[in-house]
Chain A
Amino acid sequence: MRTALHLAILLLFPPLLPGVINRVKAAFAGRRGPPVLQLYFDLWKLLRKGAVYSVTTTWIFRAGPVVTLAALLVAALLLPFGGGLPAPAAFPGDVVLFAYLLGAGRFATVLAALDTGSSFEGMGASREVTFAALAEPALFLSIAGLALARGTLSWTAMLSGQMPAWHLYGPAFAMLIGALILVALAENSRIPFDDPNTHLELTMVHEVMVLDHSGPDFALILYGASIKLFLLGAIIVRLAFPFEASIRAHVALFLAGMIVFAVVVGLVESTFARLRMNRIPQILIAASVFAALAMAVILIRVNA
């Protein structure tokens, strides 16, 4: 039952997040903005369309969106949604599999982009792998910090019943949340790392990689992107709301938390400027440094 609810939330909820973000941004800019459910409409429309393929492409290009989405869906099976819905698959070390599934999805997207032979898509792919390689230590250090503080190697155990841990490791967890938010923004190509609404190919990162995809392929990509945002958000939300409650309250709390997460991302996008490309590595290194500081604090406490 809980697994069914987990899957239902996973499959149906994520496209709501970009809608919320866009609404927040629109409100800040004094516009009305597109409907909150816009992405659902877009997906429905794209799924019924045909596709156009470039003559330079091979099976890699067609496999890219499929593999990316599959990897993200499997990664989602490893993550608990709030305190009420444990992950359908939990085992020691699933944190590592989770991170590598994100990596597998990225690899497929990047190869698909390079398959078009377009210089723009090559540029986007290059930026994507650069930022991902630099975000990786921050993500893994955060994982290691949580694993050490909670004495477990599994997401479900790591993110459940963490109230007592907050008393001991509060500042460290706060830094970890900071690092994870930076990772989430970078991984999902959001401001200040990338502007999802930019209209100039030269300044794009993620958007330019998927320029050539159309129809159902593009639908898979958009859907996958919303799931990725949802997954990283789910970790942050559970970490930031460590409270215990009944299952029903948990699910409600989690969904509300995800909306709050989307609103926060929208606020960040409305108030921050996009970084210069050569400043981005520095911010990602800073995220790693913060995760490392958190790790140092946790190590001191664990050994005490």
Chain B
Amino acid sequence: MTNVALDIALVLALVLGVASLGTSRLGAAIRYFSMQAACVAMVPLLIETRSGELSVHAWILFVATMVLKVSGVPYFLNRSLREASVRTEIEPLIGFGTTLAIGAGLVALSFGLARQLPLPQKPASDLLIPIAFSLLMIGLLLIVSRTKAVTQVVGYLIMENGIFLFGLILIDVFPYLIEIGVLLDLFVAVFVMGIVIFHINRAFDHIDSHQLDSLKD
């Protein structure tokens, strides 16, 4: 039964990632990320349930993720959206349909790559590595194909979700402290980005990251 639950959590994370590629509404993208973070946060718990005991570490990590990634980060992003008063990604660099198709190709690639990867030990689920890879790729694609800074932040966050899953291969040896440190870093990063977005908006009256190009040199 936990196997099925683990499958559902992982696949849901992937589906939400793909959904964030297809949406033009920034609010929806943030919502998808937050739900994805919740799915991802469940994964270590589900893995540990299968092997028996639930450690205190796992609970701490779960609670920290829920507080920071599932509620904290989206809160700040939504706030900066409100401040900047943008709601939709109007002119993406690559169209939504095309991004979706490319995303599907990247997911297929990830599933292929994951098979080639030599691993120190068998992962808890055969979907763990492919989906971790997929989230990495989807995050990168989102950063590459969109112009609004908020979407790019979401892309970065989705990548982080992928990295988090990736770390779970080594769940036995991986010190949770590091993961929690990463989480805090992430939170601070988003906090800073929120402020930056707000200031870009104040200065330029929009949040197109395009405009930052003129700052080079």
Q: Which residues of A contact B (CB under 8 A)?
A: 167, 170-172, 174-175, 281-282, 285-286, 288-290, 292-293, 296-297, 299-301, 304
Contact = CB atoms under 8 A, between A and B. Distances in A.
Chain A facing B: main interface SS: helix
Chain B facing A: main interface SS: helix
B18 to A, nearest CB: 6
Interface in B1-37: 4, 7-8, 10-12, 14-15, 18-19, 22
Contacts of A297: 7, 11, 127
A285 B101 contact: yes
Most buried by B among A174, A281, A288, A293: A293
A289 B103 contact: yes
B111 A300 contact: yes
Given A286-B22, A300-B130, A293 B15 contact: yes
B126 A304 contact: yes
A299 B111 contact: yes
Interface of B: 4, 7-8, 10-12, 14-15, 18-19, 22, 96-97, 100-101, 103-104, 107-108, 111, 126-127, 130
Contacts of A299: 111
Contact of B97 (A174, A285, A300, A304): A285
A41 B75 CA distance: 55
A282 B15 contact: no
Contact of B101 (A167, A289, A300): A289
Contact of A171 (B12, B100, B101): B12
B126 A300 contact: yes
Most buried by A among B4, B12, B97: B97
Given A171-B12, A289-B104, A293-B18, 16 more contacts: A171-B7, A172-B11, A174-B8, A175-B11, A281-B97, A282-B22, A282-B100, A285-B97, A285-B100, A286-B18, A286-B19, A289-B18, A289-B22, A293-B107, A296-B130, A297-B11
Contacts of B15: 175, 290, 293
